[in-house]
Every structure is written in C-alpha cells, then in structure tokens.
Amino acid sequence: MSDINDTSLTESRGNVFADLRVENPEEALAKAKLARAISVIITRRHLTQIQAAAVLGTDQPKVSSLMRGRLAGFSIDRLLRFLLALDRDVEILIKAKPPTRTRGRLDVVAVSRGRDAGKVSTPA
C-alpha cells in the first residue's frame, strides 16, 4: 500500500495534453474545448442524444462518443460544423503572437451569450 506522502504532483503548463505528451497537444485541447461547448449546448437545450444527432446530421453513437470526450473520430472542421448546426456563429481570429512566446498557438474561447451558451476557456 502506498503512502499519500509518496505521491508527487507536477503543476500543469496549461495544456494537459502537452503534459501527457499527446501528439499534437494544441489540436487535442482545441478539440476538447469544442466538444465541451457542443456538449454544454446539447445539455442546456435538454436534447436527447437522438435529437442531437438529428440536429448535427450524425448518429446517436457519435453523439455519445462526443459527449464522453472520445474525440478520435472527430476533426476540428467537423466539430465546427456541429456548432454551426447548433446555431452558433464561429469566428476565427488570426493575430500576431506576443514577443514573449517563441511560436504561435491554437486556442478556442467560447463566448457566453444566451441561455445555452456555455463558457469554455482555459488560461493562456
């Protein structure tokens, strides 16, 4: 049996996927944020998975996977199309990186407006 004092913690660098050395961690985090926003909208609209599937133009098992965070079969493009099907505007903002960073980054920020919006953001 291990002692709780033997457990060490490492502070995250802000992207759990990078911390876990997942391939393409920025893309994985962006997909997770998009999926979370979609799940929040579906939940707040009280849609069943079958109803959500009809709105999204997919099948119920895919909605189940999406809601459970199993995103291997979903591209960012597909998740963006789901948001459009859920009557969301999607804006893509391209800007210069600050001089304090060595390279650009990909981020997803959902803006809460209305009853079923849902804020999905992480610190920079």
Does CATH number 1.10.260.40 belong to domain 18-116? yes
Q: What is the 3-state secondary structure (H, E, C) of the chain?
A: CCCHHHCCCCCCCCCHHHHCCCCCHHHHHHHHHHHHHHHHHHHHCCCCHHHHHHHHCCCHHHHHHHHCCCCCCCCHHHHHHHHHHCCCCCCCCCCCCCCCCCCCCCCCCCCCCCCCCCCCCCCC
Has residue 12 got a pLDDT over 70?
A: yes
Position 88 scores a pLDDT of: 95
Q: How confident is the model at residue 31 (pLDDT cuts 50, 70, 90)?
A: very high
Q: How confident is the model at residue 2 (pLDDT cuts 50, 70, 90)?
A: low
Q: How confident is the model at residue 20 (pLDDT cuts 50, 70, 90)?
A: confident
Position 18 scores a pLDDT of: 76
Position 1 scores a pLDDT of: 53
